[in-house]
Amino acid sequence: MQYDYIIIGSGFGGSVSALRLSEKGYKVLVIEKGKWYQATDFPKTNWTLSKWLWLPTFRWYGIMKITIFRHVGIVSGTGVGGGSLVYANTLPVPKPAFFNSGSWAGLADWQQELKAYYPRALHMLGAAKNPRFFDGEHALTRLAEDIGQKEHLDATNVAVYFGEPGKVQPDPYFEGKGPERAGCTFCGGCMTGCRHNAKNTLDKNYLYLAQQHGAEILAEHEVVDVRPIGAADGSGGYSVTYQMATRFVKSKTTIQTKGVIFAGGVLGTVSLLLKLKKGSLPRLSDMVGKSVRTNNESLIAVTQLDGSTDQSQGIAIGAILHTDEHSHLELCRYGAGSGAWRMAFLPFVDGPNFPIRFLKMIWEVISHPVQYWKYIRVKDWAKSSSVMLFMQTLNSTVTFTRSWWGGMRTAIVGDEKPTAFIPRAIELARKFEVIMKGKAVAFGLTPLAGIPGTAHILGGAVMGKTTESGVIDQHNHVFGYKNMLVCDGSMISANPGVNPALSITAISERAMDQIPEKATLTTYYHTQESVKR
C-alpha cells in the first residue's frame, strides 16, 4: 500500500485527522480540491472575484463557493484549510440541547464524552476572546438593551492572534514548532482571507504540524472514486482515484491506501458518497444524504444610510447575543471596500409566495424612495453594512439525492422544511434598522424565491445506532466498511445553533483518539492472524 490513510478534504475534520494519524506513525496523504493560498495571495477586497469565489467554469479558484439548491443556498470554503480560510473565526460551544437531540442522541453522553476535546480544540485553534468592540458591536449592544438581553451579550471566542497589531512574532502556540504570526489589525477582512497572518487558519496549526510529522498534502485535486481492493468490506484496503480540479484536461491517477477518511464537507463528502453508493461502495447506508441541516439560519444585511459609523472595523464577528434559549445573533462584517455582496442583494420582504413578495418589494421602494436613493448612493457598502447572522437549535432538514446529470438536488421529507422567513429574525432585523438608521436587504433569492441561505450546512452522513438511522457509528466509522471514517460537517447529527467549526474539530479529535498507534495496530493484526491459524 502507498498510504495508510488518504484523507479527502483539508477542513476542520480532515486537518485534525492528518495531524493525529501522522503523529501515530501512519503514512498520510491529504487530497484537497482547492488551491494552496499564502497570506499575500488573498484578495484585498471581494471585488477580486477570481480569488474570492470558486467558479471553475470562469477559471475562478477562490476560497468561497456559493451553491444554490431548490430549498437552500449554501456558502462554503475551498482551499488548503477548507472552511477556515473563509469562516468568521468564531468558536462557540453549543448549548446542551445539541448533545441530547438528533440521530446521535443516546449513543453516548456526548456532553461528557467531548468535555476534554473542546478545550483541546480551542487550544489547537488558538482561541481567544475578542478584546475590542467597534461600531458594529456597539450597535449590537444597543439591540441587546432594547430586547432586554444585554446580560446575554458577550465577546466572541475566535481563532485570531491578538498580539501587537501588525507585529510579527515567533510561534505563540506550539513552543516554536508552528509558523510566525502577526497581531490582528482589526481590518475586518477575515472572510475574504486574512492578509496579515493573524487568523489561525488550519494551515497554520493542524496541517502545518502534520507536515512536520510526514503528512503529504496534494492541492488542486479532486477524488472521484474509492473502491475496495479484494474483500467487499474494504479490509484489504482501497484504491482511490483522483483528478486535477483546476485544469480543463482532467487526467486521472489511482493510488492505494489501507484506510480512507471522508472530510470534504457536506457538499464534497455527501456528493461523493451518493455517487459511490451507486457504484463502488454499494454497502453504504441508505441514510446517505438524509438529515441535512441548515442550522436554521437567516442572513439579513442592514445598511446604514447616513455614513455616521464604520461597520468595517474589527474582526469578522466580534460579539454574540443569545436572544433566547434557542437562538443566537451575530453581526458579520467585511473589510473596507469589500462590497461585492451588494450586487446580489434586494429589499428584504417576507411573504408566502413570489407574487406577494414581489409586490411587497415594489411597494417597499415606492413608499421609501428617499431611503433607497440613499442606499444606492452609499459609496462603501462594507463600511455601512452589517450582516445579521441569526441561528437556532430548532430543527429544519432537507435531503440530498443524486440528480440524473450526476450532481445533487434537494428534497423535503416530513415537515421540517427550512424557511427563509424566521419570525424572530425578522423582528430583530426591523429593530436593528432603527438602531442603524438604515434599510434591511437580503440575498436576492430569499425575497424572490423564498430560498434561505446558510454558511453552516450539516449532516448527510450522520451517526446512528445502525444503518437504519445513520451512515457512521458513534466512533465515526462508516457502516459496512473497514478503516473508513467520516470527519467533517456531514457527521454532525443535531442542530448546534452556532458555528459548528469547534464541534467538528472536537468530535474529530475524539475519533482520532480511538485509532491506535501504527505499531500497536500492526501487532494487533498479527495477533489476530495467529489466533486464526
Concerning whether 456 is annotated as a catalytic residue, the answer is yes
Which of 456, 475, 477, 526 is an active site residue? Answer: 456
Percentage of the residues of the chain whose pLDDT score is greater than 90: 86
- Give domain status of residue 155, yes or no: yes
d(CA 227, CA 254): 10
- Give domain status of residue 532, yes or no: no
Average pLDDT, the chain: 93
* The total number of structural domains that make up the chain: 1
Average pLDDT over residues 493-519: 95
- Give domain status of residue 508, yes or no: yes
- Give domain status of residue 492, yes or no: yes
Orientation of helix 135-146 relative to helix 423-436, angle to 10°: 120
d(CA 424, CA 306): 27
pLDDT at 244: 95
* Model confidence at 39: pLDDT above 60: yes
b/e per residue 31-46 (b: at least 16 CB within 10 A): bbbbbbbeeeebbebb
- Give domain status of residue 379, yes or no: yes
Give the structural domain span for 409.
3-524
pLDDT at 520: 63
d(CA 288, CA 503): 21
Q: Which residue has the higher pLDDT, 299 or 533?
A: 299
pLDDT at 524: 42
300: which 3 cell numbers?
439579513
Backbone torsions φ then ψ of 361, nearest 5 degrees: -65, -45
Backbone torsions φ then ψ of 299, nearest 5 degrees: -120, 110
- Give domain status of residue 531, yes or no: no
**260 Cα distance to chain centroid:** 21
**46 Cα distance to chain centroid:** 19
- Least confident window among 62-71, 104-113, 388-397, 516-525: 516-525
Strand extents, DSSP E, 176-231 = 181-182, 216-218, 221-228
User: Radius of gyration of the chain from Cα atoms?
Assistant: 23
Pair 500, 295: CB distance under 8 Å: yes
In single-letter form, the type of residue at position 326 comes to H
- Taking alpha carbons only, the member of 430, 438, 425, 323 closest to residue 386 is 438
Orientation of helix 12-23 relative to helix 501-513, angle to 10°: 30
Cα–Cα distances in angstroms (integers) from residue 444 to residues 67, 230, 411, 453, in the given order: 14, 51, 21, 10
62: which 3 cell numbers?
477562490
pLDDT at 150: 94
CA angle, corner 162, sides to 157 and 165, nearest 5? 150
* Model confidence at 494: pLDDT above 50: yes
pLDDT at 400: 94
- Give domain status of residue 40, yes or no: yes
* Model confidence at 528: pLDDT above 60: no
* Model confidence at 210: pLDDT above 50: yes
b/e per residue 369-406 (b: at least 16 CB within 10 A): eebbebbeebebbbbbbbbbbbbbbebbbbbbebeeee
* Model confidence at 526: pLDDT above 50: no
CATH at 28: 3.50.50.60
Q: Are strands 3-8 and 28-31 parallel, antiparallel or unpaired?
A: parallel
- pLDDT tens digits, 377-436: 999 999 999 999 998 877 778 999 998 887 899 998 766 677 888 899 999 999 999 999
0.85 surpassed by pTM: yes
> HEC profile for 53-118?
EEEHHHCEECCEEEEECCCCEEEEECCCCHHHHCCCCECCCCCHHHHHCCCCECCECHHHHCCCHH
pLDDT at 529: 45
Average pLDDT over residues 58-70: 94
d(CA 349, CA 255): 52
pLDDT at 414: 64
* Model confidence at 295: pLDDT above 50: yes
pLDDT at 393: 76
* Model confidence at 359: pLDDT above 60: yes
- Taking alpha carbons only, the member of 454, 463, 452 closest to residue 417 is 452
Backbone torsions φ then ψ of 220, nearest 5 degrees: 60, 30
- Taking alpha carbons only, the member of 157, 151, 207, 155 closest to residue 179 is 207
* Model confidence at 531: pLDDT above 50: no
Percentage of the residues of the chain whose pLDDT score is greater than 70: 97
- pLDDT tens digits, 136-185: 999 999 999 999 999 999 999 999 999 999 999 999 999 999 999 999 99
Average pLDDT over residues 240-256: 92
Residue reference for cell 496523504: 29
Secondary structure class of 140 (helix, strand, coil): helix
424: Cβ contacts below 8 Å, ≥ 6 apart: 323, 324, 327, 390, 392
- Give domain status of residue 146, yes or no: yes
Q: Are strands 438-443 and 319-324 parallel, antiparallel or unpaired?
A: unpaired
402: which 3 cell numbers?
443524486
**Number of alpha carbons in the 13 Å side-chain half-sphere of residue 45:** 14
- pLDDT tens digits, 222-235: 999 999 999 999 99
